[in-house]
């Protein structure tokens, strides 16, 4: 092989090697940048979640009985304020224990109303309590407006955090018959850990709709469907002499 041929072959090999090295360098650099960007995004997400945890409200419901009256105890045990707090309470009565005709006709304030009995023999009365805000580490005791003490209670609690995101939980309480004193126990709370969810709106016709036609997390969807069905068959406590203000019921205090 002549010197010229050797130089040509060497140049070709060098060019190919340089092209391979350049391609490998570009590939590894891109992977490094992608990995760095992913790490940055993960760090930002972690930071946002830490800030959210430090400033998030966390509301919790309980039902208490005093002198024959039922009370909602609503507490914000979180580190941040909650806004647009809305509690829909649904009292359940079974037709074997309550005569629905006499129950409804006993003392409605706004004329004759009707009440539907569901497939399990229950009819329902709903009460609504709303608050503009709930400061952190505070609680309120609000008297329910049911005309008679229900046999069990369902509560739909929703509120917004500082970012405007809505959170929803559904509770079910029942009266404990084993306790020496009358007490109400929590039978279910879904979800146990609050999740971002669409806002439930109460329409002028009394039906429940979801804000922006959103969808609930799967864990909450079935519970909401059952609550909605019972709610829309029920009647408002506002028809009875026990009706109370919807807004700002009770006095908030620090805990």
- Going from the C-alpha of 61 to that of each of 87, 161, 223, 227, the distances in angstroms are 9, 17, 17, 17
At residue 4, does pLDDT exceed 70?
Answer: no
Confidence of residue 40 (pLDDT cuts 50, 70, 90): confident
List pLDDT tens digits, range 231-249. 988 888 888 877 888 999 9
Averaged pLDDT score across all residues of the chain: 84
The torsion angles phi and psi of 116, rounded to 5 degrees, stand at -95, 145
> Both tokens of residue 165?
């995101």
Mean pLDDT across 26-47: 77
Confidence of residue 28 (pLDDT cuts 50, 70, 90): confident
Mean pLDDT across 13-19: 70
At residue 56, does pLDDT exceed 60?
Answer: yes
Residue appearing with tokens 């971002």 = 196
List pLDDT tens digits, range 112-135. 566 788 889 999 999 999 999 999
At residue 85, does pLDDT exceed 90?
Answer: yes
At residue 46, does pLDDT exceed 90?
Answer: no
For the entire predicted model, the pTM comes to: 0.78
Mean pLDDT across 82-111: 83
At residue 250, does pLDDT exceed 70?
Answer: yes
């Amino acid at each position: 092989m002549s010197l010229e041929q050797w130089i040509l072959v060497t140049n070709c090999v060098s060019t190919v090697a340089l092209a391979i090295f350049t391609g490998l360098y570009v590939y590894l650099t891109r992977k490094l940048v992608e990995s760095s960007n992913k790490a940055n995004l993960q760090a930002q997400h972690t930071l946002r979640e830490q800030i959210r945890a430090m400033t998030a409200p966390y509301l919790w419901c309980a039902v208490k009985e005093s002198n024959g009256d039922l009370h909602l105890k609503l507490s914000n045990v979180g580190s941040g304020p909650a806004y647009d707090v809305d509690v829909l309470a649904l009292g359940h009565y079974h037709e074997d224990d309550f005569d629905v005709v006499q129950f409804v006709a006993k003392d409605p304030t706004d004329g004759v109303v009707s009440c539907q009995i569901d497939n399990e023999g229950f009819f329902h009365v709903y009460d609504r309590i709303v608050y503009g805000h709930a400061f952190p580490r505070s609680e309120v005791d609000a008297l329910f407006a049911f005309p008679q003490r229900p046999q069990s209670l369902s509560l739909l609690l929703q509120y917004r955090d500082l970012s405007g995101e809505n959170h929803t939980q559904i509770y079910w309480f029942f009266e404990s018959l084993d306790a020496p004193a009358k007490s109400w126990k929590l039978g279910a709370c879904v979800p146990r850990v609050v999740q971002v969810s669409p806002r439930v709106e109460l329409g002028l016709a009394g039906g429940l709709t979801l804000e922006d036609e959103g969808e609930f997390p799967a864990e909450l969807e079935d519970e909401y469907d059952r609550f909605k069905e019972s709610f829309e068959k029920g009647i408002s406590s506002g028809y009875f002499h026990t009706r109370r203000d919807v807004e700002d019921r009770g006095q908030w205090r620090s805990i």
